[in-house]
Amino acid sequence: MPELNSIGLLELTSVAVGHVALDAMLKAASVEVLLARSICSGKYLIAVAGDVASTAAAVEAGARLAPGALIEKRTIARLHPAVFPAIGMAVDIAPSEVRSLGIIETFSAASIIDVADTAVKTANVILLRIHLAMALGGKGFVVMTGDVSSVEAAVEAGCKVAAAEGMLVARGVIAAPRKELFRDWI
């Protein structure tokens, strides 16, 4: 398996076309499936990971088989390693260790990955969770922690990326969050 440093995404209007596109992506390059599922409004989201060349080749192969169903295609290269476990919701941290929370919400799943990558590269934060599209009407959000000033800097940088694309929905920074905020996901 190649080095995981890039993510490729396809968002499609059809579940059936999504399966066909995913098959083509996996046959075109050595990539790992991070996510392939139906999402709100009857759409289908595919996220694969691999090295830059493999990810780009997979995205192009899937997009070629999705004429008329393609909403968005994106390859995001050279991601910070912290992005991958946050997408998998595999970041394990005790609520007592969380000093502050930063949350950024975007209109698309693809844009939130760019936002999270920028945030973690800007300041000393831990990405806790990157949520892609499910039960959000196709939107995405990222949750991060660190000291308040680091979280504020990371949220500001991430919001600039989202705003530049017209994808920013909302943001929040919470100092000393209550442990009840973590009941369902940490």
Output the pLDDT for position 186. Answer: 44
Q: What is the pLDDT of residues 87-101, one digit of tens each?
A: 877 677 777 788 899
Domain ranges of the chain: 6-76, 83-182
Output the pLDDT for position 43. Answer: 84
Domains 6-76 and 83-182 share a fold: yes
Can you tell me the mean pLDDT for 121-135? 85
- Give yes or no for a contact between 24 and 70, defined as CB atoms under 8 angstroms apart: no
pLDDT band at 1 (very low <50, low <70, confident <90, very high): very low
Q: Place domain 83-182 in its CATH homologous superfamily.
A: BMC (bacterial microcompartment) domain (3.30.70.1710)
Q: Look-up: residue for tokens 């997408």?
A: 87
- Backbone φ and ψ for 13, nearest 5 degrees, come out as -85, -5
Q: Coil, strand or helix: which one is 129?
A: strand
Q: Above 70 in pLDDT, residue 134? A: no
Rounded percentage of the chain residues whose pLDDT exceeds 90: 58
Distant-in-sequence, close-in-space partners of 151: CB < 8 Å, separation ≥ 6: 100, 101, 102, 123, 125, 144, 145, 173
Take residue 40 and report the two structure tokens written for it.
């709100």
Output the pLDDT for position 140. Answer: 83
Question: Any idea which fold 6-76 has?
Answer: Alpha-Beta Plaits (3.30.70)
Output the pLDDT for position 133. Answer: 65
d(CA 11, CA 33): 14
